[in-house]
Structure 1
């Protein structure tokens, strides 16, 4: 991506999550590899609410490349500031969860990820938005966000993926409840219904098999929404197991694609997850896709030069 002049010059602004256990390794790789390309990075250590503030300051300095080092929450915080701007986003996957990096094609090997900042190409990807808040992965209300969170916690404790998934389903189902929603778009006006969850992906997610939770495209220009049917706890658990085994289709989960839609709820406000962060938002929830709004430095195709 970077074609910096031969003389030593200002390099990317790198915002690293100070809570990451790989912080020092990321700093060392950035300094060493940047020197190979004749540039000097500016490294900013931040966490929590300081992450988007640091990204906003970087934009004010007219940097061509702002790097986010952390997990999906860190990427979300920086991407929210960069979406719709000319500044490109670099991704260093040094967090516990790195779903966005994986779907973009960034290797989890830290040295390889740093080198892509200088040898990769800027790829335009979509971002989703709910009530003005950007998400690069997904958003949701109800049961699904809790299943994902518990599954990831189980994986961090050392359980393999399929065991973690089943443990999460069993754990969350013990606190099973419905949310009342009505979906509204220019094309359709769905009747009010009770559902365990509404899941909204920035582009289509795989919903079956071992690839569940991944995306093959980030630039379709469409949100992918999934509304689970109203059913009992036992049937919902059967459906979760069938999804894991690769036996569930979109129509069984009432899935559809759209550029924009609204979710009305029975309450004035509702907890909404965006890339793993939960925020109380006013209803109705306004979801929309912003096609190609974010430039991300990704691996070059077929070894082509940047």
Structure 2
């Protein structure tokens, strides 16, 4: 008997997903004894609506195909539910899939859905919005905003637009004044970049930017010290790639909850690469074991 699974694919990224791809995907799932109900979503709203519909139908497993922003959108609907969440890493960086050791090729990822094990992992949250990988303030959200504007207005590709946005940030040399409340202790900082990770990011050897585990029940906080202009660009590039610079470049802490406040009325906040406007204070917390994922055995 075929096991039903709702499969939600981000078809809005211009990657050529069409009816032929949908048929091939059906066949790949069927080869592993799964009956795929496939939705090709063309916007973030459609991604969330498809996930909500699948949850309402009582589907036991929902799989999302796309980059980390897509994975975040679908996962946000499944937090604190018994639904098993499957990841099809169809994006560029695929941080969440990598840290779960999910195969990055489509056939391997589908096989993992059929033969993997359910595992409960933590999610981070800021002012009610979840993140699976990380959240950040300052330099990175500003560059993402500028990159997206260039893509819309000038038709530049993602990476070219990012380079131009990073150069503009280098010229501005921006800093953000924040107040951090961690475990009852207050800290004032003036920094270009604040990074909050869901669990602890490794910062040594060849594993910079990876997480050994996603179930330790803590947030990791990295506050950049005052770098040179060149250091700013390095920070932005490392943030984009999910990596951090050497530990000496940061003040580092871990906590289950923390608050970030600013004199600014609004702050740009990145969560898994998607930027939203939030009103401070920003209340961060870890939600232990809130998401059930299908992980390799």
TM-score interval for Structure 1 and Structure 2 normalised by the shorter chain = 0.7 to 0.9
> Does 2:7 align with 1:14?
yes
Please list every run of 5 or more consecutive structure 1 residues that lacks an aligned counterpart in the other structure: 1-6, 159-163, 301-306
Say whether the 8 Å CA contact 2:32–2:111 is kept in structure 1: no
Aligned position for 1:136:
132
Partner in structure 2 of residue 27 of structure 1? 22
* Alpha-carbon distance in structure 2 between the residues aligned to 1:283 and 1:193: 15
TM-score by length of 2: 0.83
Secondary structure class of the residue paired with 1:102:
helix
Q: Which residue of 2 aligns with 1:255?
A: 252
Kept in 2: contact 1:65–1:90 (CA 8 A): yes
- Partner Cα separation in structure 2 for residue 206 and residue 168 of structure 1: 27
| Cα shift at 1:68 | 0.4
Which of 281, 294, 297 is the matching residue for 1:297?
294
In structure 1, distance between residues paired with 2:140 and 2:116? 34
Partner of 2:37: 42
Q: 1:30 to 1:119 in 2, by over 3 A?
A: farther
Task: Report the equivalent of 1:111.
Answer: 107
Residue 90 and residue 149 in structure 1: after superposition, are their counterparts in 2 closer, same or farther (change >3 A)? farther
- What's the offset of the Cα at 1:93? 1.0
Q: Where does residue 279 of structure 1 map in the other structure?
A: 276
1:28-68 Cα distance to aligned partner (Å, 9 max, x none): 45311332344421111112221112111111111110010
Distance 1:247 1:85 in 2: 36
CA contact (8 A) 1:13 1:66 kept: yes
Give the TM-score normalised by structure 1: 0.81
- Is contact 2:85–2:291 with CA below 8 Å preserved after alignment? yes
Q: In 2, are the aligned partners of 1:144 and 1:199 still within 8 Å (CA)? A: no
Structure 2: distance between partners of 1:54 and 1:136: 19
Once the two structures are TM-superposed, the CA of residue 211 in structure 1 deviates from its matched residue by 3.4
List alignment gaps of at least 5 residues for structure 2. Answer: none
